[in-house]
Structure formats: C-alpha cells, structure tokens
C-alpha cells in the first residue's frame, strides 16, 4: 500500500504525453523540486505506472493516439487503487467543452498548452499537497477503523447491526462464534428468520420493536436458534440505531447464558438445600417443643374427652327412663357433647398446624391474632406455672408479611422460656407479651418476664447453636428462632431490663413495604 | 343413729368437665356440690361435710396436692379421689402417701369412677360411724361422776369388786352400786364390751 510512500513524504508525479518534446519540457520544469518523476508516452503505460507507483499527481495529455487522456482518466478513477490521485489535464484544447469534460471525468485541474513552467510548478505543488493530506487522512481513518474492528472483535458478546427489516448489516466474530456460523455467511441474512424461525407473530419477536419502533429492549433467557438448528438461551440488549432521529434499525448485543443459567441453578439448588435444612431443623425444633408440651396437650385433649364421656352417659341415662325421657335435657346434653368435640378437634388442629412439616410460606399476617393463638397454645404449659401470660396489644397494628407457623414457633419458644424463667424465680408476675409498630417499617413483638434473668455471657452466646442455660436443654431453640426470624427479614434480640428478668424481642416487616428496609441486622 | 346426707364435692377447674360430672353424678342420684378451684372449696369447708371429694390434681392456682395438705392440717376425714391426667402417676402416688383413697385417670369410664366414689362414700360412712360411735362413748364417759370414772378404770383394769372396795376404802355394796351405774350409763351389760369401748377411745381421751 501507500503508507511507506507518504511516510517518506516523497511525492510521485506521473507525466503522460505522446510528444517526447513535451515530456522533456515537463521533466525539466519539475526536476530538482523534490518529486519522484515518472514518464509515460501512451495511455496503457501510464495506467501501468499509476498502478504500480500510486502517484499523487498525474499530468495527463488529452490528445494521444490509441488511448486518449479522457479514457486514461476514466480508468484511473474506476480503479479504487488509483482513484485518489489528482489528474491534471494538459491540452492545447483551450475550450470550455474540453475543460468541462475533463472535470466531469474526475480531473482535478487543467493546464493549457503551451504551459508556463511556474504555473505547472504551482499547480503540481498544490495538488500534491492536497493528495498527500487526503492520503494521510485516509490512513488515519483506516487505523481508527481497524482499532474499532479490533475492539469489536475482542468483545466476547455477540454484536449485530441490523437494518429496520432485521437484515444483518454487521456481525462481530463473537456473534458468529455464538451462533456457530461465519461473519460472511451472516451478513445479509435476516436476523428474525435466522434466529427465531418458529415464531408465528412477527410483532412479538425479540428486537422487532427496536428495529421498527426504536424501542430499546433488554431481555434474558430468550431461546435463540443457531445457524445449525440448535438453540441456546440468550440475554440481549437491543438499542435503536438512530441518525438524526431517523430510525435505521438496531444494534443487538447478545450472549449465550447457558453457563450462567447452570450456575444460577446450582446456586438455587444450594439455597434450596439450606432452606430445606433450616425447615428441617425448625420442624425438629417444633417437634421437640411439642414433645416437651405433650403432657400438657394430653391433659388439654383429655378435658373435653372426659366431659364427652360424662355427657354421653348422662344422655344414656335420660333415654333409659322409659316412661318419660326428658327430651329437652337430652338435646342440651347432646349440644354439650358437640361443643366439647369441637373443642377437642380445635386443640388437635392447632397442634397439627404447628407441627406441619413444610412451613406454609409467607403470607399477610395479623400479629395480634397470631399472638392470641400462641398464648392459648402456651397456656397448655401454664397450668403448673403461676402468673400466667398477659397480652398487651395496641388498638391497631399493620399486618406483617411472614410465615405463620415459623413466627408462632418463635413466639411460643420465647413465651415458654419466659414462663420457665418466671417459675424458676418463683415469682407471680405474669409474662407480658406486647406488640408495637417500629419506626423502621417493622412490627416489634416483645416478651418480658421477671424471672431469673440472663447469664452474663448471654450477649455472646445466647443465639449460638448448642448453647443452653437449661440443664435439660439442647440449645437449639434460640438459634433456630434467629434463623427463622432472619428468614422472615426480621431481627431478634434481647434486653436486660433494669428491674430484673429478661426482655426478648423480634421484628417482622410490615406487609406491602419494601423488604429491604427490614433486612436482618444480626449484629446485636 | 340417723343416716347423714353424703355429698360428692367436685373440685375441677375445667367448666365442661365440672358440669358433665355434676350431671352424671346427679343422674346417679348423688348429692353433688361443685367448686371451680381449690380456694373456693377451702372457703366452704367445714368438718360437718360428709361424703367425698373428687379432686383434679392439676389446676391453676392452688393445685390438688396443696388442697389435700391444707385439708390434712384441718384433720379432714373426707376421702379424696384424685383425678389425674396422662403422665401424672408419680403425683398420684405422692397423693396416696398423703392419704388419698384413690385416683383415676382421665378420661375415665363412668363405672370405674362411680365404683371409686361408692367406695369412698362407704369409707366415709364407716369412718364417720366409728367416729360417731367413739364420740357417743366419750359423751357417755363424760356423764360419769369422778367416783364412777375411777371405778370404771379399775373395772377395766380387771380388779374385782372386793379389791376395789378395799383399795378405795368403801363397802363392797357401794362398789356394786357404782358399777351398775357405770354399766347403765355406758349402755352395756357386758364388761368385755365396756373394755372394748373404752379402749377404742383411749387415744382420743389421752389427746385431750
């Protein structure tokens, strides 16, 4: 190419004339001016030299035998390799027609014979400079273009340039690699037909809106067909190609996200496993709690059963009075039996709901209703405990978003601990359970007792697994509570009230508010 | 001696159990009084109460065991049937050691409960009868004059009239008159019966 020529700043001038005398004059005029001079005395030779040496300027005689100057000029301009040279026509034909024809064929200038040497020198100098600058500019452009190409080539994402109908105008190598084709084969093909051959409705096609309406798109996990008929999940961004607000198609940047999806699936699987283990642990913990409360529950169920047995006997007695069975009394007794069997099944229902294996998932929950239910639950334990449980609930409290079984498990755990601490301290003060709206879009539930209080190392250890202050404890209760509350997007902790006992609390995000604001802050 | 009215005193915190038990016992012809907790019963308690107590062992506030101790302190002789839940057997054993007549596990069969109640009532009758008898003996003993009492003691000790007369320096005839008055006042003709009667109340007399 011509880079080396222009770098030498040596300018080549080709002189073409069939008249040796003229050539001599021109040669004499331009020698010693720092130009490399080439000479041709006919058209063919001139074309050959131009081809080989890429002269900046060609002084071309029009009137020549065989091939005249016009034809030489035409052929020079027709060949991209020589098209950029400046053709200056030389002719005695000093008429307007000849000049116009010369310019129309791509001539740069015109010098009339007989020529003045100063004029020749000046014009050659001017054109030589123009061409040199132009060539430098073009070289620079090529450099820039190759830079851009290198960039486009090195991007690992596929890039398509599409026209408004989706025909592929540009492809980078990565795109060809992803779709298992080559750049050359892809150019000119239709993006939609190639990658979405099965689509029925054109308007629904990815990128279609970008090409036709100029709407940017960004989609993930879109199945895209490859050239070989296989397909892959793609993520793409389509940006409209605008030129002065006029839509010229779209640029599509895409990639194959098969590996991403596999990673995500693996991550989800790992998370699911963690979740499953947490549920399992929570379930185990619930079963343990139920085991500890079994005697209480047996008693709780035995009460209505005992009453039912008694009532049934009474009913039989009434019926056995053959002379005049008291039907009214019999009806009342039956009603009582029914009420007691409802009572028994309600207790069983509550137990079953509590030990239900997979947690039911988050739902919109009323905290007061849940706490009331939990209080009744905990009272099973309370028959041997003095003091009892006191619920302190505000007039209105927003609902929270949480798993009812898991929240109840936490509340029950804290209440039972409080009852036990109260009993150990042999005090009559009831356990106070309260709920309030926190500033941070959370509902705070607090369980306060006046029991034996907490050991000095509680801050460091209380929520750790297998840490327990109870002689028969396993130490999974509070650790499980923390894990459960954090899974709800809440927080759990405790305070040491100045007047003794302990105060445990947990928070739950208010339903409908951003979950991020209530994110767990395990630092307490 | 007149038959006194026996009542089954039910102390039970659970309203349905209390109500159903009351109906059941009444339909069996029993006199029933119910109390919703131990404190309420203790407030009503008097040693005039006859019958038995059906007492729930687990109750909020004062539980059945505590009530039993308080009644023991008051020398109550009312037999107690403890009603226990599942897993309360150790408690029931303790209760038995404190003098409960029996215990029954919830939920119970009516026959079993009534049987135990009947047994308790019978025991109460026995105890009450023997207590009545003893009190009658004491009452009779109290009608004796000091001289008669002295002579009775010697009779029981097996002294013959002659010996009593010599030791007390009275005539044998006077001893015979006292003796016949003692037998009359104590309502018996047999010395052996007199001995048995006096020995049966010996502990009560000594306690005074």
For residues A465-474, give the mean pLDDT.
Answer: 62
- Binning pLDDT at 50, 70 and 90, where does residue B2 land? very low
Residue A442 has φ and ψ, to the nearest 5°, of: -130, 155
Residues of A with CB under 8 A from a CB of B: 294-295, 298-299, 302-311, 313-314, 317-318, 333, 336, 339-340, 343, 382-384, 386, 388
How high is the pLDDT of residue B98? Answer: 79
d(CA A30, CA A139): 27
Which of A126-135, A270-279, A333-342 has maximum average pLDDT?
A: A333-342
Q: How many CB pairs under 8 A join A and B?
A: 75
Share of chain A above pLDDT 70, in %: 91
How high is the pLDDT of residue A515? Answer: 46
Which residues lie across from A251 on neighbouring strands?
Answer: A161, A239
Q: Within 10 Å of residue B128's Cβ, how many Cβ atoms?
A: 17
Q: For residue B107, say if its preceding peptide bond is cis, omega within 30 degrees of 0.
A: yes
Query: Are B141 and B205 a contacting pair, CB within 8 Å?
Result: yes
Check residue A207 and report its DSSP letter.
T
Whether residue A523 has pLDDT greater than 50? no
The token pair at B23 is 């109906």
d(CA A35, CA A10): 6
How high is the pLDDT of residue B119? Answer: 92
For residues A397-424, give the mean pLDDT.
Answer: 87
A210 contacts: CB under 8 Å, gap ≥ 6: A216, A217, A238, A239, A240, A250, A252
Check residue A115 and report its DSSP letter.
P
Which residues lie across from A60 on neighbouring strands?
Answer: A16, A89
A313:B59 CB<8 A: no
How far does A306 lie from chain B, in Å, by closest CA?
4
Q: Which residue of B has its CA nearest to A428?
A: B61
Compare CB distances from B86 to A302, A311, A343 and report the shortest one's residue: A302
Query: Are A121 and A103 a contacting pair, CB within 8 Å?
Result: no
B20:A303 CB<8 A: no
Which residues of A are less than 8 Å from B86 in CB distance?
295, 298-299, 302
The token pair at A394 is 């505000």
A340:B58 CB<8 A: no
Candidate from A278-292, A325-339, B172-186 with smallest mean pLDDT = A278-292
Compare CB distances from B16 to A304, A314, A382 and report the shortest one's residue: A304
3-state secondary structure A346-407: HHHHHHHHHHCCCCCCCEEECHHHHHHHHHHHHHHHHCCCCCCEEEECCCCCCCEEECHHHH
For residues B44-60, give the mean pLDDT.
Answer: 87
Which residues of B are less than 8 Å from A383 in CB distance?
58-60
Mean pLDDT estimate for chain B: 86
Candidate from A205-219, A347-361, B106-120 with smallest mean pLDDT = A347-361
Alpha-helical (H) ranges within A439-520 are 458-461, 477-487
Compare CB distances from B17 to A295, A306, A386 and report the shortest one's residue: A306
- Binning pLDDT at 50, 70 and 90, where does residue A213 land? confident
How far does B35 lie from chain A, in Å, by closest CA?
16
List of E strands, A226-350: 231-243, 246-256
Prediction ipTM score? 0.72
How high is the pLDDT of residue A3? Answer: 42
Given the structure tokens 């979740």, which residue do they identify? A275
The token pair at A148 is 């851009």
d(CA B39, CA B59): 11
Whether residue A521 has pLDDT greater than 60? no
Q: Which residue of B has its CA nearest to A310?
A: B20
Which residues of A are less than 8 Å from B23 in CB distance?
310-311, 314, 333
Higher pLDDT, A515 or B133: B133
B86:A336 CB<8 A: no
Q: Which residue of A has its CA nearest to B85?
A: A299
Which residues lie across from A495 on neighbouring strands?
Answer: A503
Higher pLDDT, A98 or A254: A254
Whether residue A7 has pLDDT greater than 60? no
Is 0.80 surpassed by the pTM of this model? no
Region of residue A110 (phi > 0: left; psi between -120 and 50: alpha; otherwise: beta): beta
Q: For residue range A69-103, what is the model confidence (pLDDT) as tens digits?
A: 889 998 988 888 888 888 998 877 667 788 888 88
List of E strands, A139-229: 158-162, 168-171, 217-225
Whether residue A37 has pLDDT greater than 50? yes
The token pair at A139 is 């070289």
The token pair at B140 is 């009779």
How high is the pLDDT of residue A434? Answer: 92
- Binning pLDDT at 50, 70 and 90, where does residue B83 land? confident
The token pair at A301 is 């169920």
- DSSP helix/strand/coil, A323: coil
Which residues lie across from A236 on neighbouring strands?
Answer: A219, A254
Compare CB distances from A383 to B21, B60, B109 and report the shortest one's residue: B60
């Amino acid at each position: 190419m011509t880079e080396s020529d222009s770098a030498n700043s040596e300018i080549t001038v080709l002189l073409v004339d069939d008249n040796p005398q003229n050539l001599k004059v021109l040669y004499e005029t331009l020698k010693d001016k720092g130009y490399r001079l080439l000479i041709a005395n006919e058209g063919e030779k001139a074309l050959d030299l131009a081809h080989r040496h890429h002269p900046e300027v060609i002084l071309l005689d029009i009137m020549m035998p065989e091939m005249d100057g016009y034809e030489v000029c035409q052929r020079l301009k027709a060949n991209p390799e020589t098209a950029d040279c400046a053709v200056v026509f030389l002719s005695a034909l000093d008429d307007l027609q000849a000049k116009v024809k010369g310019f129309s064929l791509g001539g740069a200038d015109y010098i009339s014979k007989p020529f003045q040497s100063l004029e020749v020198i000046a014009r050659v100098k001017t054109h030589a400079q123009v061409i040199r600058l132009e060539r430098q500019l073009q070289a620079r452009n090529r450099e820039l273009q190759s830079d851009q190409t290198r960039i486009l080539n090195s991007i690992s994402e596929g890039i398509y340039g599409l026209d408004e109908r989706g025909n592929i105008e540009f492809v980078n190598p990565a795109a060809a690699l992803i779709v298992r084709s080559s750049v050359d084969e892809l150019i000119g093909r239709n993006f939609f037909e190639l990658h979405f051959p099965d689509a029925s409705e054109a308007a629904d096609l990815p990128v279609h809106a970008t090409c036709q309406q100029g709407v940017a798109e960004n989609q993930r996990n879109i199945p895209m067909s490859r050239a070989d008929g296989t397909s892959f999940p793609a993520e793409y961004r389509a940006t409209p190609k605008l030129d002065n607000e006029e839509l010229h198609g779209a640029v599509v940047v895409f990639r194959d996200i098969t590996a991403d999806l596999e990673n995500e699936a693996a991550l989800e699987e790992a998370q699911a496993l963690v979740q499953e283990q947490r549920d399992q642990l929570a379930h185990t913990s619930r079963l343990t709690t139920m085991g500890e409360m079994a005697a209480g529950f047996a008693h709780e169920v035995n009460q209505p059963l005992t009453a039912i047995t008694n009532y049934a006997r009474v009913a039989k007695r009434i019926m056995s009075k053959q002379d005049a069975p008291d039907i009214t009394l019999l009806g009342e007794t039956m009603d009582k039996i029914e009420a007691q069997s409802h009572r028994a099944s309600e207790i069983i229902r509550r137990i079953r709901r509590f030990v239900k294996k997979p947690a039911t998932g988050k739902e919109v929950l009323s905290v007061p209703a849940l706490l009331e239910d939990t209080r009744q639950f905990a009272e099973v334990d309370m028959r041997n405990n003095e003091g009892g449980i006191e619920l302190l609930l505000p007039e209105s409290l927003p609902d929270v978003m949480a798993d009812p079984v898991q929240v109840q498990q936490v509340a029950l755990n804290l209440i039972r601990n409080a009852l036990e601490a109260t009993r150990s301290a042999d005090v009559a003060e009831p356990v106070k359970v309260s709920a309030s709206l926190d500033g941070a879009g959370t509902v705070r539930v607090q369980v306060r007792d006046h029991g034996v209080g907490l050991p000095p190392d509680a801050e460091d250890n209380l929520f750790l697994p297998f840490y327990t202050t109870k002689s028969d404890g396993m130490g999974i209760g509070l650790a499980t509570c923390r894990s459960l509350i954090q899974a709800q997007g809440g927080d759990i902790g405790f305070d040491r009230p100045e007047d003794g006992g302990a105060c445990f609390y947990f928070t739950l995000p208010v339903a409908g508010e951003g979950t991020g604001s209530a994110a767990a802050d395990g630092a307490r | 001696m007149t038959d006194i009215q026996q009542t089954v005193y039910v102390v039970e915190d659970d309203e349905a159990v209390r109500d159903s038990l009351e109906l059941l016992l009444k339909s069996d012809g029993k006199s029933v009084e119910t109390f919703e907790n131990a404190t309420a019963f203790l407030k009503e308690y008097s040693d005039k109460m006859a019958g038995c107590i059906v007492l729930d062992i687990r109750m909020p506030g004062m539980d059945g065991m505590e009530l039993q101790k308080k009644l023991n302190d008051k020398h109550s002789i009312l037999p107690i049937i403890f009603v226990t839940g599942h897993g309360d057997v150790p408690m029931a054993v303790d209760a038995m050691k404190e003098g409960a007549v029996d215990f029954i596990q919830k939920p119970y069969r009516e026959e079993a409960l009534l049987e135990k109640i009947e047994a308790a009532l019978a025991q109460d009758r026995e105890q009450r009868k023997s207590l009545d008898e003893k009190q009658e003996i004491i009452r009779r003993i109290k009608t004796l004059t000091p001289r008669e009492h002295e002579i009775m003691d010697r009779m029981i000790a097996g002294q013959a009239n002659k010996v009593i007369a010599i030791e007390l320096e009275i005539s044998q005839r006077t001893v015979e008159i006292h003796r016949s008055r003692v037998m009359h006042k104590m309502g018996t003709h047999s010395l052996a019966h007199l001995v048995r009667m006096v020995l049966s109340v010996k502990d009560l007399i000594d306690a005074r």
